[in-house]
Structure 1
Amino acid sequence: MKSSKNIVATAFKDLSDYFNSTDFSKAILLGIALTVPIIFGVKMDMLPIGITITVGAMLASPSDISGSIRHKITGILFATLLAMIVSLIGGYLHLSLWLLFPIVGILMFSIAYLAIYGFRASLISFSGLLALVLSFSNVSTGMEPYERMLLIGIGGLWYAALSLLRHFIFPKAPTEYYLSKTLKLTAEYLKIRGELVAETTDRSELLKKLLATQTDLTTTHETLRDILISTRTGSGKSEYEGKRMLIFVQLVDMLELAMANPVDYSKTDELFKKKPQQLADFQGLLFAMSSRLNVIADNISTPKRIRNNTKIEGFQKNIKNDISEYALSKKAFDENLLMLKNLFKYQKEQIKKIEKIEWLLKNPAQREISLLKKEDSRKFLTKENYDFEVLVENFNLRSPIFKHSLRLGVMTMIGYGVGMLFSVQNPYWILLTLIVIMRPTFGLTKTRSKERTIGTLIGGALAVGIVLLTQNTTVYGILAIVSLVIAFSMVQRNYKAAATFITLSVVFIYALLRPDIFNVIQYRVTDTLIGAGLATLGNLLLWPAWEIQGMQKTLLETIKANRVYLEEIISFYNKKGNVPTQYKVARKKAFLEMSDLSSAFQRMTQEPKSKQQNLDKFYEIAMLNHTFLSSLASLSTYILNNPTTPASENFNKVSSKIVQNLLDAETILKEEISLEVEKSDPDSEDIFESTYGKKITFSDDEKPKEDFHLKIEEAHLVREQLKWLLAMSKKMPKLLREMEF
């Protein structure tokens, strides 16, 4: 009974999240943008004009993704302009097949190649590809190409106006949604951390889940960062955005704290095996913090509903008592005691962050908070390079986007040829399937092909069932609109479901225009199967872009980002003072590059077995970098949140060696030296013990001082993290020499 209640509660929560998402609100907006012109066309007896305006709105919509309103509108306008130009060209492609095929291939390649400028540019590029494909349809027949172009432009402007209107009516909605999403992902991360504490056998699955959550979290951070920083221009919103920015800063710090792993799991396993109650308390505290973040996320817009909760406070008291009891049972210095204290110190910092978030949400007066400077905050934005040189530099077979564009150009020629050869009713449906499914990597294309095929078959079967039940055109019209809205809202969440509803929508739209609906379903399924098959074959046979080909660069960027982050930590530990902006920028970069490495590894697992060379070694190097970053986060968090002693000569000597090891790893990846060069310094094996010794020692003069316990905590944590970082940094070059790229 309890489990069934939990299932219902989870389902209701998921449904609530779906309806509150920006995907759903955008789908509603698109539904309005597409239906109003058609209704207008029907009422005014100008249906072809209404349909063409609808097509323009649809072509403008893909670039309407989350981010600042300025970036959104700019993307929509560029997509509209590209769609107008391509539609005009497409209107004059009434050529012989011998001329048509190469021209279509060149146009497809050129438009797809614009994706070299980043994610938003790839969506603008998709609008152009879609416009070219639709120029082969019988939409807007009887119009001059320039008339069609102008109406498509009107449709794009109509959609841009609706998008602006939505922004002015609900200006806070994207911020609230992504802030809530970040809180929930952070909660999930803490929950997995809690599960890892208790997992004493095999942690590999939980670590994979942790990496996947971390990737989602850093991606959401980027979106929220863009929304918060880029929109801080209006004076009326500065206070609201400023507070949300400070909450975001707390959440970024929480990720670093959550990543921080100040202890070795093998040591905690050994201790908690003897002290199961301490394990339950530490784990309970992590779960309580996770639960609290979920409560805050659910009430982000109504913070007054957040009630006081004593669970966190209760676990804190239990852990304090556990540590006190353990301390009394030990007469001499004990490393486990220090480990417990440091572990608890990290959890207390996490609690402070949660309390700060709650305080900020309860609308403190403007004078009580200090807003970040705009010039400093803008340094955290990831800027795309839109120079012409980018097109030139990537115009070769080493570029995945170049290969993808070339592949798409060739496959669209083949796809259109197949459609013409077998007299397919709507050959452009094959092209439509190709441009939607084909992705730069084989794994993503294969997944999309599978999901698209299954979704189309399910949609076709449902459509047949509904047609057999009713032939009411009003029902078809309602179902077409509802299916379209659901389809667009599910594209990013569940592509299989999106494909199902897209099929339903297309079938019911055609059912309103043509009587032979069963033929429409049959051709829709056939064309999708042909398109999906060609897309998969194209990625497999034509200039395939296997993940192994880009892994060398991905690893290089990850290791480099970790090194720069480490150098910033070393610099701050030596200088103290205020935390510089470049420190936080380096941390952000390290998190993002680690997420990219994790995503690359996941894509590699989706490729054919024959292309998964050294998969176990790639997993090992990915986990090694993740553990290295966790250790950096531990060191960073301690240094930032505690008064520390001056950096010792030993610290600088060992940390310099760690930096050098990372530089060696980078050199191997850059292939600047022969892989045969494996010689290292003769003293490198025992550099740690030769500097720090085998155990922590203090002079008799230091022990009686009041800050002795703080010093020994610092010495223990810094010593342990350096030892761990040194071991991992030495392992990286050795492991890289064994790998083949």
Structure 2
Amino acid sequence: MTNQILTTILKFISKHAKDLFGFFKSSSFSKALLIGIAITIPVVFGIVSDNFEIGLAICFGAFWCSPSDVNGSLKHKQIGILFSSILVVLISFIGGYLQFLNNFLFPILGLLTFCIAFISVYGFRASLISFSGLLALVLSFAHTSEELEVYQYALLIGVGGLWYLLLSTIWYHLNPKAQTEETLSLTFLLTADFIDTRRQLIGEQPNRSELQTQLMDLQSELIENHETLREIFISSRISSGRSNYQNKRLLVFIQLIEMLETAVANPVNYDKMDALFSTHPELKSDFQQLLSEFSFQLRSIARNINKPNRFPSHRKISDVLEKLKKDILEFKIDTQTEDYEDYLMLQNLLDYQKKQSEKIKKIKWVLDNPELSTDDLTRKHNLSRFIVSQDYDPKLLFRNLSFKSTIFKHSLRLAVTVTLGHAIGLYFDFQNPYWIILTIIVIMRPSYGLTKTRSKDRIIGTLIGAVLASGIVFLIHSPYVYGVLGVLSLVIAFSMVQKNYRASATFITLSVIFIYAILQPDVLKVIQFRVIDTLIGAGLSYVAMRFLWPAWSFMEIGDNIKDSLKANTDFFKSIRNYYQTKGDVPTSLKVNRKEAFVQMSNLSSAFQRMAQEPESKQNNIEDIYELVVINHTFLSSLASLNTYIQNHKTTAASEDFKLISDKITANLDRVCRELNAVNFENSKTKITMLEVEKRTFTFPADRITKNAISSTDNERSHKEAHLVWEQLYWLYSLSEKMLELTSKLKTGN
């Protein structure tokens, strides 16, 4: 029996060893370990030197500033931690006097909460600085120093922030490549998943809509990783110049961006592809096998990014490509003349896969090559255009002082809920009332879906942690063991906070209970109040999010649709101009391409938030979903056209091309005007069957394509004509569909 248990354990360890090893190597674990060191050393120093209050203040300062330590350039990390240090010093100084304010306690607590939360208008990193300030405010209720003056305590909090800044900087220089390698490896894996999902979309699929939704989610996650890598590579390159390591990773990153665009670019016309593959399953199998091999090789590179000798051979990809090329040639020989356009479609699709193969081959070559230069990418004014710069104008604060601003409503909602939570804790004389408001600031987020999920995970995690802690405290009575378990639990909790919030809440509860078990003999009472306070805090967060100035996604998604459409329009205009003028690819085209992908990601995320909200608040969700899918498909078609014209020598733009391009542009501009006239924030906005203006223009795609093919015997020109006109027809059809949908949007009476 014992042998069977041991065998089972060993099998489990063997099965999950790689995942466990990967977790210990992750930046999440290393940051959690850094936080553990940053808060433990001052406390130990304080105990040993009989200056516990000083050590505890430095510990708090380090802990409160740690949220600002996120992936990005070192400079941005340091600035974020420094600003957090300044903020927590100010808040700790004010918070030190809050207990003496009596009647003014609640209005000042509410005002401070609002002001700190409102800093989030300046973007993601500012929201983390804001969170540090909120932690300092809430935990100023948790500990009042008996040996230090308020100003001394506040300054020592600042020393703790500087202590964490020093540790974080040293940690970065000890392994400066860690976050780059991890983010780049994750991008490889996400790209592999994206391509594999594309593989599943080939041929008729009963769950195609689900796969397309999955594809949009993966695309959003990929673009987020691209933004992080842009900041790491381009910011460091602009500020500190070039290095061979940075050159190689930047070139690999460029290939991954282009791989995403190429993967998005094909196929778009599923009806034609389904009909073709149903009669020629061998072609479907060839394409699927090729995409599967792409995914496999990308995953292998991700696992062995610094071990080029372990990269898989490119021979397998070459063999599958050769087989696919042979089957397409046989298709041309076997089929009749009327199937020639299907042959051209297959050839264009094959060309895209060849491009993917070349990119994978180039990635392996770059990672294996000892010396590389990227002189074509050294122009700083061009590089800087690819970084999204945050607007830090003070006027932004005043522009957001409106109920139209999500951050304003969130800050106000948070201020009221925190004040109410503290009042409840004091009124019922709970042991640690600050736990209620700590739960509120940790759980409550601007979006309803995330707040609801975190409330549920927090409650479940707290209950699990309370049960586990009760069992351990009954069995073990050593304060030293409690101390070790408390620190270990805290490290694990921090390392899992982004990946598994429920598990993180479990370990946070364990850590808190172990620490209190050292200080107080009645641990069961501590556990009881911990659970009650968490339930009250989570309940208040959910109720406030649901009923107190709620920011439903249908109020904002209109702006996301407009931004995505505008970015797609600008991208299309850049493609149109480049196809007409030829020459070198302008930087503006690359910037517009990047903006189109970013805005599409934002739109997908906004719709995902909307889908998580109550059904009564999902205003016109089916029509909005259709607009989201159309925008995504439109971008796919643009990517297909852009990839082709950048990688092939194209003929002069015909008058028909200019005419159709103008028609598409006119449709897109009109859709923008229609959307600007719609008040998405009005809950009465509804779809009514208005009669859409009749179109007198008919797109003669088949005729133009046939005329272009018959005018020359050059197969390269045939492939260009087929792809360009098929994409233009697709773009025109989608622009008409968007116009039809937006023309139906009307504000009800």
1:469 corresponds to: 475
Alpha carbons 1:51, 1:140 under 8 Å: kept: no
2:433 corresponds to: 427
2:273 corresponds to: 268
CA distance in 2, matches of 1:412, 1:458: 25
Secondary structure of residue in 2 paired with 1:474: helix
Alpha-carbon spacing, 1:661–1:642, altered in 2? closer, same or farther (3 Å): same
- What is the CA distance between 1:166 and its match in structure 2? 1.0
Identity %: 49
- What is the CA distance between 1:143 and its match in structure 2? 2.1
Secondary structure of residue in 1 paired with 2:460: helix
1:360 aligned onto 2:366? yes
Q: Provide, for residues 205-224 of structure 1, a one-character-per-residue CA deviation record: whole Å limited to 9, x for no partner.
A: 11111111111100000001
- What is the CA distance between 1:95 and its match in structure 2? 3.4
CA distance in 1, matches of 2:578, 2:509: 57
- What is the CA distance between 1:543 and its match in structure 2? 0.6
Alpha-carbon spacing, 1:51–1:699, altered in 2? closer, same or farther (3 Å): closer
CA distance in 1, matches of 2:287, 2:692: 44
- What is the CA distance between 1:400 and its match in structure 2? 0.3
1:194 aligned onto 2:213? no
1:255 corresponds to: 260
CA distance in 1, matches of 2:593, 2:458: 38
Alpha carbons 1:52, 1:139 under 8 Å: kept: no
Alignment of 1:86-485 (within 5 A): 86-232=91-237, 238-332=243-337, 334-366=340-372, 370-485=376-491
Tell me how large the CA RMSD over aligned residues is: 2.2
Q: How many residue pairs were aligned?
A: 731
Alpha-carbon spacing, 1:528–1:10, altered in 2? closer, same or farther (3 Å): same
Alpha-carbon spacing, 1:8–1:740, altered in 2? closer, same or farther (3 Å): farther
Opposite residue 659 of structure 1, the aligned amino acid is T
- What is the CA distance between 1:679 and its match in structure 2? 6.0
Alpha-carbon spacing, 1:433–1:337, altered in 2? closer, same or farther (3 Å): same
2:27 corresponds to: 22
2:703 corresponds to: 693
Q: Give the counterpart of 1:55 among 60, 69, 73.
A: 60
Alpha carbons 1:246, 1:371 under 8 Å: kept: no
Q: Which runs of 4+ in 1 moved over 4 A?
A: 4-10, 233-237, 367-371, 672-682
Secondary structure of residue in 2 paired with 1:515: coil
Secondary structure of residue in 2 paired with 1:650: helix
1:683 corresponds to: 696
Q: Provide, for residues 687-730 of structure 1, a one-character-per-residue CA deviation record: whole Å limited to 9, x for no partner.
A: x12x7637522486x434xxx10111111111111111111111
Q: Provide, for residues 14-63 of structure 1, a one-character-per-residue CA deviation record: whole Å limited to 9, x for no partner.
A: 33332222111111111110111111111111112111110000111111
2:676 corresponds to: 670
CA distance in 2, matches of 1:216, 1:233: 26
Alpha carbons 1:56, 1:154 under 8 Å: kept: yes
2:4 corresponds to: none
Secondary structure of residue in 1 paired with 2:98: coil
Opposite residue 419 of structure 1, the aligned amino acid is G
Gaps of 5+ in 1: none
Opposite residue 209 of structure 2, the aligned amino acid is S
CA distance in 2, matches of 1:624, 1:416: 48
- What is the CA distance between 1:658 and its match in structure 2? 1.1
- What is the CA distance between 1:97 and its match in structure 2? 3.9
Alpha-carbon spacing, 1:682–1:340, altered in 2? closer, same or farther (3 Å): closer
- What is the CA distance between 1:678 and its match in structure 2? 6.7
Secondary structure of residue in 2 paired with 1:249: helix
Alpha-carbon spacing, 1:58–1:698, altered in 2? closer, same or farther (3 Å): closer
Secondary structure of residue in 2 paired with 1:602: helix
1:531 corresponds to: 537
CA distance in 1, matches of 2:415, 2:373: 58
CA distance in 1, matches of 2:495, 2:393: 33
1:521 corresponds to: 527
1:622 corresponds to: 628
Opposite residue 703 of structure 2, the aligned amino acid is G
Alpha-carbon spacing, 1:399–1:55, altered in 2? closer, same or farther (3 Å): same
Q: Which shows bigger deviation, 578-587 or 229-238?
A: 229-238
- TM-score normalised according to structure 1 size: 0.95
- What is the CA distance between 1:655 and its match in structure 2? 1.4
Q: Provide, for residues 624-652 of structure 1, a one-character-per-residue CA deviation record: whole Å limited to 9, x for no partner.
A: 11111111111111111111111111111
CA distance in 1, matches of 2:128, 2:722: 51
Alpha-carbon spacing, 1:393–1:236, altered in 2? closer, same or farther (3 Å): closer
- What is the CA distance between 1:371 and its match in structure 2? 4.3
Alpha-carbon spacing, 1:378–1:6, altered in 2? closer, same or farther (3 Å): farther
CA distance in 2, matches of 1:54, 1:445: 29
1:546 aligned onto 2:552? yes
1:718 corresponds to: 724
CA distance in 1, matches of 2:287, 2:266: 14
- What is the CA distance between 1:670 and its match in structure 2? 1.3
CA distance in 2, matches of 1:740, 1:392: 31
CA distance in 1, matches of 2:532, 2:293: 52
Alpha-carbon spacing, 1:672–1:138, altered in 2? closer, same or farther (3 Å): closer
2:733 corresponds to: 727
Alignment of 1:52-91 (within 5 A): 52-91=57-96
Alpha-carbon spacing, 1:617–1:141, altered in 2? closer, same or farther (3 Å): farther
Alpha-carbon spacing, 1:238–1:72, altered in 2? closer, same or farther (3 Å): same
- What is the CA distance between 1:740 and its match in structure 2? 6.0
Q: Which shows bigger deviation, 225-234 or 164-173?
A: 225-234
Alpha carbons 1:243, 1:371 under 8 Å: kept: no
2:682 corresponds to: none
- What is the CA distance between 1:199 and its match in structure 2? 4.4
- What is the CA distance between 1:289 and its match in structure 2? 0.4
Q: Give the counterpart of 1:503 among 492, 504, 509.
A: 509
CA distance in 2, matches of 1:237, 1:717: 39
CA distance in 2, matches of 1:7, 1:643: 55
Alpha-carbon spacing, 1:572–1:480, altered in 2? closer, same or farther (3 Å): same
CA distance in 1, matches of 2:188, 2:99: 54
Alpha carbons 2:268, 2:636 under 8 Å: kept: no
Secondary structure of residue in 1 paired with 2:143: coil
Q: Provide, for residues 482-508 of structure 1, a one-character-per-residue CA deviation record: whole Å limited to 9, x for no partner.
A: 111111111111111111111111111
1:555 corresponds to: 561
CA distance in 1, matches of 2:111, 2:384: 39
Secondary structure of residue in 2 paired with 1:697: helix
- What is the CA distance between 1:237 and its match in structure 2? 5.2
Alpha-carbon spacing, 1:698–1:584, altered in 2? closer, same or farther (3 Å): closer
Alpha carbons 2:314, 2:361 under 8 Å: kept: no
- What is the CA distance between 1:680 and its match in structure 2? 4.3
Q: Give the counterpart of 2:712 among 703, 708, 711.
A: 703
Alpha carbons 2:709, 2:721 under 8 Å: kept: no
